[in-house]
Structure 1
Amino acid sequence: MRFHTRKWVKPEDLNPNGTLFGGQLLAWIDEEAALYTIIQLENSKIVTKYISEINFMASAKQGDIVEIGMEVIKFGKSSLTMKCEARNKMTRETILTVDNIIMVNLGPDGKPAPHGKTEVEFVKDRLDNK
């Protein structure tokens, strides 16, 4: 799994227990999934279709650094399915896992559209081919 994003847990990210609010972490994950999909499919018109069961295993506190990792599981005709792990860099614990996040590619009409991609591409490889 490749970890692309790090987030610093700030006071506004905490719940009443003084730990990272799960909803804030899910917002970070949804944003990371969207950014990852936009880069992979080379289209900024994408939407989150589905997020499977979320397994919270640990937490983070103010000042901790959270890493978010994504891994592509499958390229569909108009979708991209990924799994996710968020981990605490300070404690080295896995905070949560998500087995399936499905993002859908949209056409100009706002409806699902084929993206034509079949494998993960890295930006550096795209630049080398031009």
Structure 2
Amino acid sequence: MRFLSRRLVMPNDLNYANSLFGGRALEWIDEEAAIYAICQLETNCLVTKHIGEISFDSPATQGDIVEFGLATKRVGRTSITVTCLVRNKATKKTICLADDIVFVKVDPDTRLPVAHGKTESLLKEQTDRELRTLNLMQD
């Protein structure tokens, strides 16, 4: 799993108990997972079809920095399924896990599903190339 982005928990992100509001966390998860899927499939014509089980394990409070780990679970003909782990940057404690987030590529005019042309092995090669380019992976 690659941790690709971070957010600072601000006062307007809090619930009545002064911890990160679950709805805000879900908004962030959907956005971060969509960006990940868009980058993987190299298209922004994606829609969220499904978000599976979501479990909240520990709170985040004002001033915490949370980071989003994303990984590809499955690649279908028109879809990609990802997992998103949200954790506290300082403590590494899991805040939330959203599993089986499914995005589907759609035709921009008809809004019907269309093939994206990617496979799991192609995405792995693409990611490895990107990591080498960024010098994040040793040869």
Query: TM > 0.5 between the two?
Result: yes
The residue that corresponds to 1:111 in the other structure is 112
- Normalising by structure 1, report the TM-score: 0.91
CA distance in 1, matches of 2:43, 2:113: 12
Contiguous gaps of at least 5 residues in structure 2: 134-139
Q: Distance in 1 between matches of 2:8 and 2:119?
A: 34
**TM-fit CA distance, 1:89:** 1.2
Task: Name which of structure 1's ranges 9-18 and 104-113 shifts more when overlaid on structure 2.
Answer: 104-113
The residue type equivalent to 1:110 in the other structure is R
Partner of 1:111, secondary structure, is coil
Runs of 4+ in 1 over 4 A off after TM superposition: none
Counterpart of 2:137?
none
Matched letter for residue 66 of structure 2: V
* 1:47-126 aligned within 5 A: 47-108=47-108, 109-119=110-120, 120=123, 121-122=126-127, 125=130
Alpha-carbon deviation of 1:124?
5.3
Taking the aligned partners of 2:92 and 2:29, their CA distance within structure 1 comes to 18
Residue 123 of structure 1 deviates from its aligned partner by 9.0
- Structure 1: runs of 5+ lacking an equivalent: none
Secondary structure class of the residue paired with 1:103: strand
1:122 counterpart SS class: helix
Equivalent residue letter for 2:70: M
User: Is 1:15 paired with 2:20?
Assistant: no
Amino acid in structure 1 at the alignment position of 2:35: L
SS at match of 2:112: coil
Q: What RMSD in Å do the two structures reach over aligned CA positions?
A: 1.5
User: What amino acid is the match of 2:119?
Assistant: T
Aligned length: 126
CA shift, 1:37, in A, is 1.1
TM-score normalised to the size of structure 2?
Answer: 0.85
